[in-house]
C-alpha cells in the first residue's frame, strides 16, 4: 500500500518524506485554508519535496472553468495530480485531462456507482471518503470492498485512494481489503508505528543494555 499524507503543512510533509514513508500528498481547499498560504506557492513547495503525485484541487464547478484552472495547476510541477469533484462536469474534465496525459484524482466519492464512472472516465485515483460515510451510520469499508471487486472484475487501472481516514484501524482495514493508497493526516501516519508492547520491549532492552556496561564502537 502507498501512503499519501493529507495536509498542506510543508514542515510535516518534509519530516515524513525524510523518513522514507511518503509516496505522495493530497491537498484540498480546506487544507490550503488551514495552511494560511497562497495555493500556488505552497503547492510548488510541496511538489519540490516529494517525488510522488501531489493532488491539487480545482475549485470550479463547471467544465470550462475546471479545465482553465487545471491548466494553471498543471504548470506548477510535473508531479501535479489534478483533483476533481465527482460530478458530471468533473468526470468530463477527468476524461479530457487523462487523455492529455495528466494524472487525475476524482474526489468526494460515496458510492460504488460513482467509482465505476470515475474509472470509466480514466481517473488515476478515486477517493472514497471512509470517515464521512461512517459518520452517517454506514460502514465505509464496505464501499472500499465494493469498489475493489468492481475494479478487479473489469481490470480497471484506477487506483483506490482510501480518504477521510480517521484511525489507524481504518488504514489496516483498507490494506486488508486491497486499497492501493491510503491518504492520512500526519498524526495518523505517525501513529501506525505505535504499540505498547514495542515501547515496553524497547524499555526493557535498553535497561538491560545499561547493566552490561558496554558501548557500541
Please state, in angstroms and rounded to a whole number, the distance separating the CA atoms of residues 54 and 79.
6
Catalytic residue annotation = 83
Provide the Cα torsion 32, 36, 13, 105; round to 10°: 10
Please state, in angstroms and rounded to a whole number, the distance separating the CA atoms of residues 215 and 211.
11
Who contacts 185 (Cβ-Cβ below 8 Å, separation ≥6)?
Answer: 5, 6, 7, 165
User: Furthest-apart CA pair in the chain: how many Å?
Assistant: 71
Q: 70: closest CA among 105, 45, 46, 42?
A: 105
Phi, psi torsion values for 159, nearest 5 degrees: -90, 140
Amino acid at each position: 500500500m502507498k501512503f499519501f499524507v493529507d495536509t498542506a503543512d510543508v514542515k510535516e510533509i518534509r519530516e515524513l518524506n525524510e523518513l522514507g514513508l511518503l509516496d505522495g500528498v493530497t491537498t484540498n481547499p480546506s487544507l490550503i485554508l488551514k495552511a494560511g498560504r497562497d495555493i500556488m506557492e505552497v503547492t510548488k513547495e510541496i511538489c519540490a519535496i516529494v517525488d510522488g503525485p501531489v493532488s491539487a484541487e480545482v475549485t470550479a464547478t463547471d467544465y470550462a472553468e475546471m479545465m482553465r484552472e487545471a491548466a494553471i495547476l498543471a504548470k506548477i510541477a510535473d508531479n501535479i495530480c489534478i483533483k476533481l469533484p465527482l460530478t458530471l462536469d468533473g468526470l468530463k474534465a477527468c476524461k479530457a485531462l487523462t487523455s492529455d496525459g495528466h494524472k487525475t484524482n476524482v474526489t468526494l466519492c460515496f458510492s460504488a456507482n460513482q467509482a465505476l464512472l470515475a474509472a470509466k472516465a480514466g481517473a488515476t485515483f478515486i477517493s472514497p471518503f471512509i470517515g464521512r460515510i461512517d459518520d452517517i451510520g454506514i460502514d465505509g469499508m464496505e464501499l472500499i470492498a465494493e469498489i475493489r471487486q468492481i475494479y478487479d472484475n473489469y481490470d480497471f487501472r484506477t487506483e483506490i485512494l482510501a480518504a477521510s481516514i480517521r484511525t489507524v484501524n481504518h488504514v489496516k482495514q483498507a490494506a486488508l481489503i486491497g486499497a492501493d493508497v491510503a491518504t492520512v493526516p500526519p498524526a495518523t501516519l505517525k501513529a501506525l508505528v505505535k504499540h505498547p508492547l514495542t515501547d515496553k520491549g524497547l524499555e526493557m532492552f535498553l535497561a538491560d543494555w545499561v547493566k552490561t556496561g558496554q558501548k557500541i564502537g
